[in-house]
Structures are given as structure tokens and as C-alpha cells.
């Protein structure tokens, strides 16, 4: 909680009053969303993005306004969980059966945010917080690209006309000049979890760049967190490229806050 307390102390007096009013009235889901908004604020502050909490921009109130490399970005934080209709009971055990519902939920929400802020004519950074162990990067990547990064690599990438007609397309598809939602510069996944070493909470992020963004974000802007960006080859295909270490996490514990290091179940810290 010290990490969130630090965020709260930096958002300004007016914003603090608004947060306290919202916490007093909010249900559990809205409290969780607000706390993750503060988490992202503090992470962005640590990277020197000078975040402004809930600014007024063109009649809209995004969660944050950021300054990255002397350019302003709007940012929204979206907390997502697995759709309840995908949960099943089988032979006394609980699980889920997903036919693309989790990816569709993410894609539909991000599409609404892209449309909502398009009139502001400012690039967007969207943070997707993955809550629970049953929703993850596979769902997010499928939402964005219609497939996972690993599948794209294994199959040699995508052509400008994208997937076959029978295939589900992602939020950004196709990868060619007709790519959609180009006002989204990048989508940043966030997984905030308790370390298996019982030493505090850790944050894992992946920065997914739009393959045809109107405004690009340099790789490495989010420190050691990995970037997934896209390159074209001589055959006209678009291929993913990963920069950084995929399993790097950041500590949000006060004793070693902002420390970054590789993390795994066999070597937690």
C-alpha cells in the first residue's frame, strides 16, 4: 500500500479530494479500478512521464495525461477479468471454456476508448490490467492482433491483407496501410501480483506497439519492460520483434521499489 500512498501524495489536492469521494461511494469493482489507476500513475511517474491525474481534455476526462520524450499522450487504465459466462463446472472442478469471449471483451473496450478520444487528436497509451490467473497475454494478444505473437513468429508473420476470411481479426488488423485505430500508439499489459517469495508485490508489463501507429513510441520508454513492435520484411509480411527480457518484473515494495529483475516460479524474488 505504500506504493499507492506515494501515488496519492503526488496527484494534487483537488484530485485527492475526488479520489476520496469516489472511494467512499464506490463498489468493490470501482475501488479496484481506481487503485490500479493510481498504480499506473506512480509507475509512469517513476519513468519520468510527468503524469497528470484525470485531466480535462476537449470535454473528456482520461485517466492520465503523460509526457514521453516531449510529446503528450492521453492514457486510460482498463481492468479486465475473464467473462463470467465462460466459467464451467466439469466433474466437480471449476474451469472455463473460452471461444474468444475474453479477447472480444478486451478488443471491444479498447475500440470504444479509441473512438472516444479520437477527436482529441492526441496519441493514446492504453493500459490493460489483467486480474486473475485465468486471463492473460494470450487473450490480450488475440484481442489486438487476432493471433498471438508466438503464432505470428512461427507462421512467418502477416501479409497486408491479414488473416484468411474465416479467421477472427484483431483490433489493429490489418497490418497494412488500412490498419485500424491508429490513434492508439501502444497497449501496455499490467499484471500486479504477490511474489511467491512472499517479499511484496511485483509488476509485470509488456508494451505492445501498434504496427501502424500515427505516433510511434520508442522502444525502451518503459525501462526494462519488454516491447513488442513490428517490422516488415522483403516479402511484404509484418513480423513481431521483441526487445528486452520477457520475464522482467518491477518491485512495488517500499524496501526495493522500482527494482527490476527477471522473475520465474523457480526463482522468485
CA dihedral for 240, 243, 172, 218, sign (positive or negative): negative
% of the chain at pLDDT higher than 90: 69
Residue 267, domain member (yes or no): no
The Cβ-side half-sphere exposure at 213, using a 13 Å CA radius, reads 20
| DSSP-based helix, strand, coil % in the chain, nearest 5 | 30, 30, 40
Residue 90, domain member (yes or no): yes
Report DSSP state, residue 3.
Answer: H
Domain containing 57: what range? 2-262
Residue 269, domain member (yes or no): no
What's the distance, Cα to Cα, between the start and end of the chain in Å?
Answer: 19
Residue 27, domain member (yes or no): yes
Residue 84, domain member (yes or no): yes
Q: How far apart are CA 32 and CA 191, in angstroms?
A: 13
Residue 215, domain member (yes or no): yes
Q: Is the pLDDT of residue 23 over 80?
A: yes
Residue 55, domain member (yes or no): yes
Measured CA to CA in angstroms, residue 220 lies from 54, 184, 208, 227 at distances of 25, 18, 12, 7
In this structure, what is the dihedral angle of CA atoms 41, 43, 45, 49, given to the nearest 10 degrees? -90
% of the chain at pLDDT higher than 70: 99
**175-215 tens-digit pLDDT:** 988 999 999 999 999 999 999 999 999 999 999 999 999 99
Domains held by the chain: number: 1
Quote the mean pLDDT of the chain.
92
Query: In the chain, how long is the greatest CA-to-CA distance?
Result: 57
Report DSSP state, residue 81.
Answer: -
Amino acid at each position: 500500500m505504500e506504493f499507492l500512498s506515494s501515488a496519492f501524495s503526488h496527484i494534487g489536492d483537488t484530485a485527492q479530494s475526488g479520489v476520496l469521494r469516489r472511494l467512499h461511494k464506490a463498489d468493490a469493482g470501482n475501488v479496484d479500478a481506481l487503485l490500479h489507476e493510481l498504480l499506473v500513475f506512480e509507475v509512469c511517474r517513476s519513468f519520468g512521464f510527468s503524469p497528470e491525474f484525470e485531466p480535462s481534455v476537449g470535454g473528456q476526462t482520461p485517466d492520465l495525461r503523460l509526457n514521453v520524450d516531449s510529446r503528450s499522450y492521453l492514457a486510460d487504465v482498463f481492468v479486465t477479468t475473464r467473462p463470467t459466462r465462460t466459467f464451467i463446472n466439469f466433474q466437480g472442478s471449476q474451469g472455463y471454456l473460452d471461444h474468444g469471449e475474453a479477447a472480444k471483451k478486451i478488443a471491444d473496450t479498447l475500440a470504444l476508448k479509441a473512438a472516444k478520444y479520437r477527436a482529441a487528436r492526441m496519441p493514446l497509451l492504453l493500459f490493460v490490467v489483467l486480474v486473475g490467473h485465468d486471463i492473460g497475454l494470450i487473450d490480450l494478444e488475440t484481442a489486438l492482433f487476432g493471433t498471438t505473437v508466438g503464432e505470428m513468429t512461427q507462421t512467418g508473420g502477416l501479409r497486408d491483407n491479414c488473416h484468411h476470411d474465416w479467421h477472427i481479426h484483431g483490433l489493429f488488423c490489418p497490418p497494412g496501410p488500412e490498419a485500424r485505430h491508429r490513434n492508439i500508439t501502444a497497449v501496455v499489459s499490467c499484471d500486479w501480483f504477490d511474489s511467491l517469495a512472499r517479499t511484496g508485490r511485483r509488476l509485470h508489463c509488456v508494451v505492445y506497439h501498434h504496427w501502424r501507429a500515427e505516433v510511434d513510441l520508442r522502444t525502451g520508454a518503459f525501462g526494462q519492460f519488454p516491447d513488442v513492435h513490428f517490422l516488415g520484411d522483403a516479402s511484404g509480411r509484418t513480423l513481431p520483434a521483441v526487445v528486452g527480457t520477457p520475464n522482467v518484473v518491477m518491485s512495488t515494495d517500499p524496501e526495493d521499489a522500482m527494482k527490476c529483475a527477471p522473475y520465474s516460479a523457480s526463482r522468485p524474488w
